[in-house]
């Protein structure tokens, strides 16, 4: 079974630029999560989708971050404009509708200069 796919794996941008990350969850998983992981810390949930609806985006900085999952399968997370403090690993995870276990992708490492 293929795991969670993410791209790109690495991205370097200058502050005030925009960037987008893509995630394709495990086939059949209805729930998709985006996490931010700052170096030396545990992942922090940014947004959770169930199918194409948002379940929780309470920790998403909505003035600069946006995410969508239009067809209920793959998802895109965007940052516009980026700040220095956005440098982190952005992890995507998915779980089945009835399951609690979340399976993570390899992450996208973002460096904002």
Partner 1 sequence: GESVGLHLPTLSVQEGDNSIINCAYSNSASDYFIWYKQESGKGPQFIIDIRSNMDKRQGQRVTVLLNKTVKHLSLQIAATQPGDSAVYFCAEKGTGGGNKLTFGTGTQLKVEL
User: Which residue, 31 or 75, has its beta carbon nearer to partner 1?
Assistant: 31
Q: In angstroms, what CA-CA distances link 70 with 39, 52, 112?
A: 30, 6, 27
Q: How far is the CB of 100 from partner 1 (least distance, A)?
A: 5
Q: Among residues 79, 54, 76, 86, which one has the least CA distance to residue 65? A: 79
Answer left, alpha or beta for residue 32, where phi above 0 means left and psi between -120 and 50 means alpha: beta
SS3 86: helix
User: Which residue, 17 or 37, has its beta carbon nearer to partner 1?
Assistant: 37
Give contact residues for partner 1 (rule: CB under 8 A).
Answer: 4, 31, 40-45, 48, 55-56, 91, 93, 95, 100-107
User: Which residue, 16 or 111, has its beta carbon nearer to partner 1?
Assistant: 111
Q: How far is the CB of 75 from partner 1 (least distance, A)?
A: 15
Q: How far is the CB of 98 from partner 1 (least distance, A)?
A: 10
């Amino acid at each position: 079974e293929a795991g969670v796919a993410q791209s790109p794996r690495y991205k370097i941008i200058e502050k005030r630029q925009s960037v987008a990350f893509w995630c394709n969850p495990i086939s059949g998983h209805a729930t998709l999560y985006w996490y931010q992981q700052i170096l030396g810390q545990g992942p922090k949930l940014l947004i959770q989708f169930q199918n194409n609806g948002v379940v929780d985006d309470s920790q998403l900085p909505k003035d600069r971050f946006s995410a969508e999952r239009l067809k209920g399968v793959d998802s895109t997370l965007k940052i516009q404009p980026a700040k220095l403090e956005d440098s982190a690993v952005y992890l995507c995870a998915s779980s089945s509708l009835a399951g609690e276990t979340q399976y993570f992708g390899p992450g996208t490492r973002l460096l904002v200069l």
